[in-house]
Structure 1
Amino acid sequence: MRPLASRGQPKSSRLAQARAIQNKVILVSLLIVPFLLVFGMELIQRGNVQETWDWLTANPKLFAVNALLAFFVFLLIYCLIGSLFFAMGFSTLLLMLMSLISFFKQKLIGEPFFPWDIFLKKESMNIIPLVTSKEALVRLVLVFGISAGIFLLRIWLPRWPMKLWVRMTLGLMAVLALYSFGVRAPWAEKVMAQAGVNEIVWNQQQNYGENGISLAFTMNVKNSIVPKPSGYSELSIANMAEGLNELVGASKASVSNDKKPNVIFIMNEAFWDPTLLPGVKFNKDPLPTVHRLQKKTTSGYLLSPQFGGGTSNVEFEVLTGQSMSNLPAGSIPYQQYIRKPIPSLASYFKNQGYRSVAIHSYDGWFWNREEVYQYMGFDDFKSKEDFDNPEYRGAFISDDEVSRSIIDEVEANDNPTFIYAVTMENHGPYNDNRYGETDIKVEGNLTEEARNTLQTYAQGVYNADHSLKMLIDHFEKSDEPTVIVFYGDHLPMLGYDYDVYVQSGFVSTGRSDQWSLEEQKRIHSVPFVMWSNMDLPKEHVPILSNSFLNAYVLDRLQMEKPAAWAYNFELSRKVPGLLRGLVVDSGQVLYNSPPSSVASDVEKYRELQYDEMFGGQYLAKYLDSNGFTRSDEQPDGFDHVNIASEEEVDAAQ
């Protein structure tokens, strides 16, 4: 029944009154909801109300800019859906899930949620086993519960739509506003400048923490486009080419005429030396083979651009000689940038008369490897699908199985073989008790959960070490010269917030943005060893970026280095360690950024990388020899490797 006060009112008056109420509710919602959304997003990130309140009261302008962005997202969804409370529910669900993803990603691998993470396909499902803890489930239930509650309001409250022309106008305005912030249009830059925005590109965890997740995420949209170096031009590359030709000439003079060796790179998943943890003891050496090789052969430490994940980025650096430090923070070249043939170790060895083969004991689609490996020039790719009745340990194919596959591939080829193998057995998480009773036992001042995690990881490392011994034992008896380069892609993720590392005293805090440069170096340094049945002199390498490893190995083998890698090798003598936010010079002195003495050399490196990946590829035009087999055509694809058994060969004959 209508209220008495309204019974005598004309219908037009009642409609006008209803519209006025509707407009007020819409206006109040559009003004208040964005601030509540930002508060909720930041609460998820910071973990408690007090820290969230301290941030927004200390940074009211930054809070307002984050709310402005949330407003445009809310407005756009409202204009698309046409229902106020449905739009409110979808906005809450979308932005809270975005904050949750960023929260868990930072806890696991120290990186927030980036715009390009949206384009991850099935790779993103790989994180699900890592976020099934009680803490994770509580947050997920709260987000979905609040969103569902807002959706249910629609049952009792009106739809409160807008007229079509208003929706189209405001929706277009919202799109243009979000686009302007993403590309940094002048007016958006002015707004951010007045708000005191300080973008911290080199430390994205700090960037998100200081500026707020909505604003930091939006600022990174522009960073998905790799900017052209200020000095880059065809003339600058032509000038560099003259000096690079001389480096290549010097490299040619030292090429050995001996029989070409098989070259095997093994990137072992999360391989690291847990005996480096202070205050932790093991009942037996988890790395007997590696520790023996460290005393007898060339060995050292590689500076990985990753921690806890992002294996493909390490592959990218090793195979191409390009550096992640020259690309936007958090980017994934395999997914974003490699859309055409690119020089790599595979194409280099192929040009030297080798057969280039990739082996990976996981799904071929992961990180887009099936496509990328073709662009890199591999002849064949053996992925999980191509292993015949493989041995598993836990959820993954064993490292021993990968070693057997490497041996089979080398034995099956008449030509010298280049193999790039990637293992999976010791992939995290490590709280699954995958081995049951372990050979390796851990003692130390650790919680029971941390001890179990470390024991599982250490057992995986022990198995990886054994798989390396299998290869060495085989090729020691072989009359084919063979070189094995064995290393890890990154340190393992041992619990939330670097739990095991903090408990053992390896780092001082679970906040990576508070680490010293020495701690950053420590958490990114993985061991590598080189073994050969040839007579190669021993050398100790204190630190070397993954992007310089290919040039270093070619130099050790006295093989001609392509021009760009010859430059990399010379640069590595001045700056052996080069990460975003961490630079190590030849004297092992640590810096936040390249010191002035080598800044111009590092900038040339950046120009050469830009030229190859995004520019005009001028370098190849001005070189006497490039050292690679190059093709501008799309790759035709390759058949997956399938080693035939003796019975199958006999049957075919």
Structure 2
Amino acid sequence: MTTEDRQMNTQIEETKAAKARKPFPGWLYGVLFVLFDAIGVAALEWGVTLSSRVELSSPAVGWGFVSKMWTDLNFVAVLNLLLCGIVYLVVLMISNRFWVATPIYLALTLIAAVVERFKVSIRYEAVLPADLTFLKTDAGNLMSFMPAGAQWIILWVFVIFMLFVALCVFLNRIDGRHGLMLRGTDQQSHLLSAVTRLLLVLVPGLFLALYAAQAGTVDSWANKFSSAMGDTPSMWDSVYDAQRNGPLVSFIRQLNPKVMEKPDNYSEETMKEIAERYEQAAESINTERDANLNDSTVIYVLSESFSDPSRVPGLKTNKDSMPNIRSIKENTTSGLMLSSGYGGGTANLEYMGLTGLSMANFDSSLTSPYQQLVPGQHWAPTINRMWGDAENSIGLHPYESSMYSRATNYKKFGFSHFYTLTGSDVISHQDKLGTSPYVSDEAAYKSTLEQVRYTNDNQFIQLITMQNHMPYHNWYEGNDFTVESTTNQSLSNSERESIETYQKGVSYTDQATADFLEQLDEVDKPITVVFYGDHLPGIYTSASQDLNNSLALHLTDYFIWSNKASSCQGKKIDSADYSSPNFFVAQTAEHMNAKVSPYLAFLTLMHQKIAAMEPPVVNKIQGWDRIPEGQSVYLDSSGNPLSASDFDSETKQLLADYKLIQYDITTGKNYLKSTSFMNLPTK
């Protein structure tokens, strides 16, 4: 037999063998599709399942991500399967080959999973939409984000991927159909196959695009669909959010949040008119003032969950938890602050204090500016910038630097250092009280004092404490605080324990704050402190059941105090009884008799008309779905609610200007940036 004959026989045998291979049935492709889809979702979940460093809760990760379907009737895992499945289906229809599309889909999910794991490992932060901008502007530095041992993770993932590729090659070989999805035997069936494939790309692709465009908009069909499937936004911690809801759902939800409605008259001309209007207002105000804001050190103290327990309706405490702060408030500018949160939402109050912007002006879809807005902003004119160079802006927070993406945002805000428990800038004092897991306020104040004494230059310092954060589990030995109900409903044991533990924590804060101010009095440079509680703790179960208590459960304590080296110690300003954090910087300037920029002039006039403003409030612990219905809360200088329909023309004009200013800064074209709107007077 010649060589040609042998080759011909071999080809004939291979042809017969190929014909003998049976094509995989359609149902088997369906099963394999779901299997590989699930493997992709599992890979993404693996990317964020490093052990959580957050002590506030235990993420439902790993098997719990799936098991909560029958334990909690939460089907967010199915939602992730659906969204990943759409990507898989589109790749499948484009290639028309199952055994080609599958490795491509798995490659995409494995690469995304590795990137997630690296970012979580280095910064304890999930991949965010803002990271896409980083790929454009700083892609050359990607290698600097590789954690130790990254090469071994990459190697193992590569080996696993190659095993999948080998499996697909093998299955393709034994599949008589070779993974061909849609095919025709004549011209008409070829055309029908092409149209079907096109529809299976366009229809699911359009669904995914529309879902991504609206998933972050409260009350949209996509948002309702996500909620119905079990998506529970947990945006204080991007890793926990990704673990709890799936990285893809968490990522998509933040792609396109609705920030604000564009005002009808928004234009460059309108914004120049506003800048000129409040430049004139600033000139008028400044004729009465002789100090400069940045000639003093200003310290903002956001005291976690600080409020007066004795002011909660239906409760009676055995003694005062805050006698020192009560005395301080009586002798300086002080009052009650209207909070947008109850039991949570710290970063939103913090954001308002640092920017002078109000959550009441944002669309209800914008639940967390720190995650949904700030990372993509081109211009972030925070108040600390009035102190000049970044070295004059210092942030301190005795907890995770990644919470609310603070590490990234504080850098964008122009802070030179942000001292926390993690990262490159580690806070110096980390002592705790009793069995509490949180750093004490006394320790936080010691770290702040070190920054004050470090330089004779004037600074802006932002301190966010953690001592009084939930939960509260009988942390303090010898606690002699007690509480009882004044209603016909007695307190449960857990509620009583939480409140009494919290009372003791407030008393520790009270003493530590008094000591802190006493030490600042000894510093030979002018210092002003803005102290405020961000929200009440979410422990008042009985009081929160009465809707009439909504306002009372959203009022915390604040004061503005200056040391002996200042010329304004003991000063009290008018209309201070009620405020909200967006007005603090304007009140601080008034307290110090300091000259203002056009922006601070606007906030001064706004505060004269509306003492405090926040989005609608409810008696439940702050979640991350804002209330779409209801009027924002406006209070007058006596704390009485105001109706927007009753505002006079000047108040309506100020509110309209506020929305224009906020829109321009956050999501507009930044027309104000080229004006002197944010600039303090130089003389």
Aligned to 1:344: 382
Check if 1:443 corresponds to 2:480: no
1:392 paired residue number: 432
Structure-to-structure mapping, 1:9-408, within 5 angstroms: 19=25, 76=87, 165=181, 170=200, 173-183=203-213, 200=219, 222-224=256-258, 226-257=260-291, 260-327=295-362, 328-333=365-370, 336-338=373-375, 339-340=377-378, 342-350=380-388, 355-384=392-421, 385-388=425-428, 390-393=430-433, 394-408=436-450
Compared with structure 1, are the counterparts of its residues 628 and 408 closer, same or farther at alpha carbon in structure 2 (3 Å cutoff)? farther
SS at structure 2 position matched to 1:249: helix
Cα distance, 1:212 vs structure 2: 7.6
Indicate if the aligned counterparts of 1:358 and 1:381 stay in contact, CA closer than 8 A. yes
Q: Take 2:432 and 2:34, find their aligned partners in 1: how far apart are those partners?
A: 58
Aligned-residue offset at 1:405: 2.3
SS in 2 for 1:305: coil
Q: Tell me, which stretches of 5 or more residues in structure 1 are unaligned?
A: 1-11, 30-40, 53-66, 91-114, 120-157, 189-197, 495-500, 509-515, 630-653
Could you tell me how far 1:70 is from its partner in structure 2?
Answer: 8.9
Q: Which residue of 2 aligns with 1:619?
A: 672
CA deviation profile, 1:53-82 (whole Å, cap 9, x unmatched): xxxxxxxxxxxxxx9999676555667797
Q: Structure 2: how far apart are the matches of 1:567 and 1:323?
A: 13
Q: Which amino acid aligns with 1:333?
A: Y
Query: Once the 2 structures are TM-superposed, how far is the Cα of residue 381 of structure 1 from its aligned partner?
Result: 3.2
Matches within 5 A, 1:444-523: 444=485, 445-494=490-539, 501-503=540-542, 505-508=543-546, 516=547, 519-523=549-553
C-alpha deviation, 1:538, in angstroms: 5.7
Structure 2 regions of 5+ residues with no counterpart? 1-18, 36-64, 93-97, 107-126, 132-170, 183-195, 234-248, 564-568, 617-631
User: How has the CA–CA distance of structure 1 residues 71 and 423 changed in structure 2, closer, same or farther, with 3 Å as cutoff?
Assistant: closer
TM-score (norm 2): 0.61
Question: Can you list the C-alpha shifts for 1:80-122, whole angstroms capped at 9, x where unaligned?
Answer: 7979xx9xxx9xxxxxxxxxxxxxxxxxxxxxxxx98999xxx
Q: Indicate conservation of the 8 Å contact 2:338/2:580, yes or no.
A: yes
**Offset from partner CA, 1:582-614 (integer Å, 9 cap, x none):** 221436453686766444432321211222233
User: Alignment RMSD, CA only?
Assistant: 5.0
Counterpart in 1 of 2:192? none
Superposed CA offset, 1:536-568 (max 9, x none): 136563432211111121122111222122212
Change (3 A) 1:322 1:540: closer
Partner residue of 1:649?
none
Maintained 8 Å contact 1:481/1:532: yes
Amino acid at match of 2:597: P
- Summarize the Cα distance change of 1:416–1:263 in structure 2 as closer, same or farther, 3 Å threshold: same
Q: How far apart, in 2, do the equivalents of 1:257 and 1:294 lie?
A: 23
Identity in percent: 23
Q: What's 1:584 paired with?
A: 634
Cα separation, 1, equivalents of 2:493 and 2:232:
40
Matched-pair contact (CA < 8 Å) for 1:298–1:540: no
Match of 1:556 among 591, 616, 624: 591
Deviation of 1:172 after TM superposition, in Å, equals 5.2
- 1:583 maps to a residue whose letter is V
Letter in 1 for 2:482: K
1:417-466 Cα distance to aligned partner (Å, 9 max, x none): 332211111122223x3324424233342111111111222222111111
Matching residue within 623, 641, 661 for 1:608: 661
The 8 Å contact of residues 354 and 416 in structure 1, kept in 2 or not, is answered as no
Query: Partners in 1 of 2:283 and 2:448 — Cα distance?
Result: 34
Q: Assess if the C-alpha contact under 8 Å between 2:379 and 2:666 holds in 1.
A: no
Give distance in 1, aligned partners of 2:399 and 2:27: 59
User: 1:397, CA displacement in angstroms?
Assistant: 1.9
Aligned partner (choices 427, 433, 438) of residue 469 of structure 2: 427
Letter in 2 for 1:526: T
Whole-Å Cα distance in 1 between the matches of residues 384 and 372 of structure 2?
Answer: 19
CA distance in structure 2 between the partners assigned to 1:164 and 1:215 by the alignment: 39
Larger Rg: 2
Per the alignment, in what secondary structure is the counterpart of residue 401 of structure 2? coil
CA distance in 2, matches of 1:331, 1:612: 16
- Write 1 or 2 for the structure with the bigger share of helix: 1
* Deviation of 1:624 (Å): 7.6
Residue type of the alignment partner of 1:254: E
Shift of 1:276: 1.6
Aligned partners of 2:259 and 2:667 also within 8 Å: no
Supply the distance in 2 between the matched residues of 1:440 and 1:45 (Cα, whole angstroms): 42
Cα distance, 1:238 vs structure 2: 1.1
2:213 & 2:343 partners in 1: Cα distance?
Answer: 31
User: Structure 2: how far apart are the matches of 1:592 and 1:73?
Assistant: 47
SS of the residue corresponding to residue 397 of structure 1 reads: coil
SS at match of 2:208: helix
Question: Cα gap change, 1:628/1:74 in structure 2, threshold over 3 Å: closer, same or farther?
Answer: farther
| Cα 1:448–1:46 shift into 2, 3 Å | farther
Q: CA deviation at 1:215?
A: 13
- 1:417 alignment partner in structure 2: 459
Task: Name the CA distance, whole Å, in 2 between partners of 1:592 and 1:26.
Answer: 60
Amino acid corresponding to residue 412 of structure 2 in structure 1: Y
